[in-house]
Structure 1
Amino acid sequence: MRKILFALTLSALPAYARAAPVGTPAIITGIVLPAPQRPEDARETLEAARAFYDFWNTGDRSLLRRAIAPSFVDHTPPPGRVAGPEGPALAAREFLKAIPDLQVTVTRMVLSGPYVTVHMHFDGHFTGSMGGHLGRGQTIHFIATDLLRVTGGRITDNWHLEDNLALQTEMGLIQHVP
């Protein structure tokens, strides 16, 4: 019965991807379905993700080395940041310089095969400096979401999105216009 239901779900996906009542249909280039996973693979995947976010809280590069593969690629780096394995180290150093009490709280992890979707909150106080701007103790709270691909217990890919508007507004780098 489960195989039949799975087959029916798969057969409906192409039609769903094409269905759009008006305008241009959405382009869907990849669909990830939850797949049966060995418990040890799931554990390795979650341990890599955990080490990655522990690194963000501490700046401890040994956690980063444990978390990411030498072939790591950040598919959404901001301008000027390298997309390879040094990117997260540079980003964390800059963030911790600006927000020394930075705390990353993972609020949800969704595991599907080699992928982990992670929703998190970043909190702290802008008491350092960033981009030539000095903090005045402003409270920082913004959200972010990562889509990680983990292979062999190491993160190989990251697609990261964060609420930069909230971050830059809270830091006083841009003015909020209602």
Structure 2
Amino acid sequence: MRKSTRTALSAALLPLALLAPVQAVEQAEALPITKHVAVAGDEAQARPLILAALRYAAFWNTGDEHYARAALAADFTDRTLPKGRPQGLEGPLQASKGFRKAVPDLSAEVDDLVVAGDRVSVHLHFKGHFTGLFGEVQGKGQVVDFQAFDLYRIQDGRIADNWHLEDNLTLMQQLGLVQN
């Protein structure tokens, strides 16, 4: 086998080997499985970063505060803080509770996860049905299907900083708050 073929094959198999220890924790904690993982650097050093990212994804998937508390650092900073949302842990907790009132069956999948140094980039895919209340608007069962991208800086196995971008235009169109 040529060296370039071996390297490509090793890179293709890396996520499976890399995630084995994380999957053991995953089974105990019901963390989401990511569809694609890429790691630049040392596999062992990437594991706690992946675990923190998957715990935070599990929080968005389930709404269970335990996952947010396990994933976020005590001094967590949201670097793209939406107006009106508190800084720190309380911000995501508030956002999740509020959005789950509108979309009680909300789920989040991890489509892509990329680790480089102390950074993790995550491509999330949210789905559900707008059956609850969003502000003063009552849902009628509309399908909710939108994506988000997060960039985390992880320190000591927890997310210290988060930059995020959600496809809010698609979401607002699906909720019927903005015309197509």
Task: Report the TM-score, using the length of structure 2 for normalisation.
Answer: 0.76
1:149-168 → structure 2 map (5 Å cutoff): 149-168=153-172
Aligned residue for 2:179, secondary structure, equals coil
Structure 2 partner of 1:36: 41
- After superposition, give the CA deviation of every residue in 1:26-83 in whole Å (9 maximum; x if it has no partner): xxxxxxxx8633x332111100001001011111111111000011011112111112
Give me the whole-angstrom Cα distance separating, in 2, the residues matched to 1:75 and 1:47.
Answer: 21
- After superposition, give the CA deviation of every residue in 1:14-34 in whole Å (9 maximum; x if it has no partner): xxxxxxxxxxxxxxxxxxxx8
1:84 matched to 2:121? The reply is no
Aligned residue for 1:173, secondary structure, equals coil
Contact 2:49 2:157 in 1 (8 A): yes
Q: Gapped runs of 5+ residues in structure 1?
A: 1-33
Percent of aligned pairs with the same residue?
49
Aligned residue for 1:64, secondary structure, equals helix
Structure 2 partner of 1:134: 138
Structure 2 partner of 1:174: 178
Task: Report the TM-score, using the length of structure 1 for normalisation.
Answer: 0.77
**Quick check: which one's helix share is greater?**
2
What is the root-mean-square deviation of aligned Cα atoms in Å? Answer: 1.2
Structure 1 partner of 2:77: 73
- Partner amino acid for 1:140? V
Q: Gapped runs of 5+ residues in structure 2?
A: 1-38
Aligned length: 142
1:13-28 → structure 2 map (5 Å cutoff): none
- Partner amino acid for 1:36? G
Give me the whole-angstrom Cα distance separating, in 2, the residues matched to 1:123 and 1:36.
Answer: 32
Structure 2 partner of 1:122: 126
